[in-house]
Structures are given as C-alpha cells and as structure tokens.
Amino acid sequence: MVNLNLKTDRPLDLIAVGRLAIDLNAEQINRPMEDTLSFRKYVGGSPANIAIGAAQLGLQCGFIGKVSNDQMGRFILGFLKEKNIDTSGVVVDQTGAVTGLTFTEIKSPQDCSILMYRDNVADLKLDPSEVSEDYIKKTKAMLISGTALSASPSREAVFLALEYARKYDVIVFFDLDYRPYTWISDKETAIYYNLAAEKCDVIIGTRDEFDMLEQFEREKKTDQEIARKWFGHRAKIVVIKHGSQGSITYTKDGRSYTGGVFKTKVLKTFGAGDGYASAFIYGLLKGWEISRAIEYGSASAAIVISRHSCSEAMPTKAELDQFVKTAEKVNP
Ligand SMILES: Nc1ncnc2c1ncn2[C@@H]1O[C@H](COP(=O)(O)OP(=O)(O)OP(=O)(O)O)[C@@H](O)[C@H]1O
Ligand SMILES: O=C(O)C[C@@H](O)[C@H](O)C(=O)CO
C-alpha cells in the first residue's frame, strides 16, 4: 500500500487548477456535427469536470482558475457553487477574454469527436499573481491538468501552484489531459509536460498521452518502464488508461493493479477519463486500497459515458455505490 502522507487537518480535500469552459454537446446524435442543429450547454473543462465529480461524491473541493466576464463565466460560477465547490480561487477576467467552447459530435457511441474553440480564452490568462499561497495551504491535494501548461501566463501560474503545493506537502495529481490543438509544437508540449510531471505525486493519462511525453526517447517503453521513469522523480502512483480495455496502475513499491471495466450502455466516449479521475482521486483521498479506488474510477467512467453530459453526468455517491454493487464487471 502506498502512503500518500495526506495532511488530514485541512479544510479542503482537493483544489483543481485550470480550465473552466463550456461543453456544447450535440442534441441530434448518431450523425456528424454538420447535420447537428442544436447543442445542450454544460459546464466543461477537464479539471472542472473532475472537481465536479469529486464534489458529487462528497469531497470538499476548491478551484483556481479564470472565467470570462460574461454570461458564460457567470453560468460556470453558478454551477460550481451549486455543486458546493469553493470558488474563492476563481478570478473573473477583465480583458475581454472569452470562455472556451467545446462542441462535441456523437456520430455513434464509439465514434465521437470534440471541436474546441479556444482563441483568447480566459482560462489561459490565469496569472501567477492570482494563485494564492494561503489558498493552496488549505488543501490536502491539488489537481493540475496538462492543457493549462499550453500558454503563458497560465503555464507559469501552474508552476507556481506546484511550488506552493510542494512547500505545504499538498499531494499533486496530474491528469495529462493532452489536447493537441491547444499546443504550438509537440516538442514544446513534451518539455512542459515533463517539467510538471517531475513535481507530481500521482500521474494519470492514456498510453497515447504518456507516449507524447516520451517523444525525446529513442525507444518505446512498456507501461511498466514508463511508470518506473516517474518513480525516479516524485511520483508514487502512475495510472495508464486503456479505454474500453481498462487501466493499469503502478505504485512505487513495485506493485501493479489491472483495472477492469463495467458493462454500460455507451452513449458517448468522451468524459470517461474525467469520471475515472474524479472517483479514483476520491478513493485515494479516503485512504482506500488502490484496487478499490480503481474500481470506483472505472464505475464512474462507465456511468459518465452512458449519459449525454460530462459534468452533469458525474454520479452522486449513492448512485456510484449502487452501480458498483449491481453492474456487471468485465475484467481484461
Ligand atoms: N467503453 C467503455 N466501457 C466501460 N468503461 C470504459 C469504456 N471506455 C473507457 N472506460 C473506462 O474509462 C477509463 C478511462 O477511459 P479512457 O482510457 O478512454 O480515458 P480518456 O481517453 O482520458 O477519456 P476521455 O475520452 O474522457 O478523454 C478506462 O480506463 C475504463 O475504466
Ligand atoms: O476538457 C475539455 O475542455 C472538454 C471536456 O469538458 C469534455 O467534456 C471532454 O472532452 C471530456 O473529456
């Protein structure tokens, strides 16, 4: 069992740092977006989805981010408050920046894609001066999301948050959340992702995302070799997700855990990772065995992909516990 050495005497369980955006999910599904006539608006942004999922399960969550000074920004703030997420760390942009929009296309349950409009977005204008040391020292854990590293000043804000986390022994989760269209070059991406990952305790990503970090290496690593690389830095846990094939989690004490999946009626594929991360983080922060936290993450993912939204699809604890008890599990 890996001990995360959580500082349990803190008022917040998790502060998420990064993107607060809007999902516009196609209402006419099983067709290309060209044929879509209407979209349903939800709060979006991977770190927002994860914080909402964790709050749904009962964690005390906060957020460090920036929203646009318009109806979309107010919609996001209102929803976070509705989910009992502390928003004192969220800044309202005053430069006329806008909210990132993610249009999603559900051509079929297995063929989905997302189209992101992210020019002049408020979330990437989060400045280091807007990251509060006093806020971060209030939390047991912090979540960073890779896309927040894609541009300054958000990039520097994340690295400052990482410094504060280190100073106050805050456990850092890094959800790689690689979105190619938000980066200028693969090399730049890999450089900043590697610099951030070296400072994190738990790293969560798909195999493709980890491969992006590996692009300066000459030989392709196995999952286990990738995990070992990060154990040479701060990481204690590395989770490599493999879609419908499940996941594999490695711990610094040399153990590995294969995560199965739950049978579900897939409506859309996106959101699986955010559902997984929110419940996995919940389990770890509750001190659960890793295998139980993985199962919880897999169950949450299965629920989220059976529903139209991501943020609003996040299950309550009662829903998730019932699902784990009754749903059929498929081990890889
Ligand atoms: N078709 C599926 N049925 C059941 N569970 C699934 C399915 N696809 C994914 N999952 C679960 O969700 C977890 C994360 O999925 P995935 O590897 O697709 O992450 P991701 O690519 O980060 O997701 P996202 O599409 O949200 O970015 C998997 O490890 C698995 O537990
Ligand atoms: O992370 C984003 O900006 C998009 C998400 O809100 C969206 O729900 C998704 O792609 C989840 O993985």
Please state the ipTM of this predicted complex: 0.98
Kindly identify the ligand whose nearest atom is closest to the C-alpha of 104: 2
Under 8 Å between Cβ of 216 and 231: no
CATH of the domain at 308: 3.40.1190.20
Residue 26 counted as domain residue: no
Kindly identify the ligand whose nearest atom is closest to the C-alpha of 46: 2
Q: How far apart are CA 27 and CA 36, in angstroms?
A: 7
Q: What is the pLDDT of residue 332?
A: 63
Residue 87 counted as domain residue: yes
The length of the chain, given as a count of residues: 332
Q: What is the pLDDT of residue 181?
A: 86
Domain count, the chain: 1
In tens digits, what is the pLDDT along the chain, a chain of 332 residues? 788 999 989 999 999 999 999 999 999 999 999 999 999 999 999 999 999 999 999 999 999 999 999 999 999 999 999 999 999 999 999 999 999 999 999 999 999 999 999 999 999 999 999 999 999 999 999 999 999 999 999 999 999 999 999 999 999 999 999 998 889 999 999 999 999 999 999 999 999 999 999 988 888 899 999 999 999 999 999 999 999 999 999 999 999 999 999 999 999 999 999 999 999 999 999 999 999 999 999 999 999 999 999 999 999 999 999 999 999 998 76
Residue 251 counted as domain residue: yes
Kindly identify the ligand whose nearest atom is closest to the C-alpha of 308: 2
- Is 114 near ligand 2, meaning CB less than 6 Å away? yes
Kindly identify the ligand whose nearest atom is closest to the C-alpha of 206: 1
Query: Residues of 87-114 as b/e, b for ≥16 C-beta within 10 angstroms?
Result: bebbbebeeebbbbbbbbbbbeeeebeb
- Is 65 near ligand 2, meaning CB less than 6 Å away? no
Q: How far apart are CA 276 and CA 204, in angstroms?
A: 10
Q: What is the pLDDT of residue 102?
A: 97
Residue 269 counted as domain residue: yes
Residue 83 counted as domain residue: yes
**Which is the closest atom of ligand 1 to the Cα of 260?**
31
Give the CA angle between residues 325, 329, 331 to the nearest 5°: 145
Q: How far apart are CA 49 and CA 53, in angstroms?
A: 6
Under 8 Å between Cβ of 185 and 153: no
- Name 183's Cβ contacts closer than 8 Å, sequence gap at least 6: 150, 189
Print the domain residue range for 165.
12-19+46-96+120-330
DSSP β-ladder status, 101-108 and 111-117:
antiparallel
Q: What is the pLDDT of residue 2?
A: 82
Nearest-CA residue for ligand 2 atom 12 is 271
Q: How far apart are CA 20 and CA 125, in angstroms?
A: 12
Residue 88 counted as domain residue: yes
Q: Which of 207, 268, 305 to mutate to test the pocket of ligand 1 (most atoms within 8 A of CB)?
A: 305
Q: Which of 23, 72, 112 to mutate to test the pocket of ligand 2 (most atoms within 8 A of CB)?
A: 23
What is the per-residue pLDDT across 147-185, written as a single tens digit (0 to 9) for each? 999 999 999 999 999 999 999 999 999 999 999 888 999
**Which is the closest atom of ligand 2 to the Cα of 21?**
3
What the block records as the tokens of 241 is 């997700």
Q: Which of 102, 106, 212, 241 to mutate to test the pocket of ligand 1 (most atoms within 8 A of CB)?
A: 241
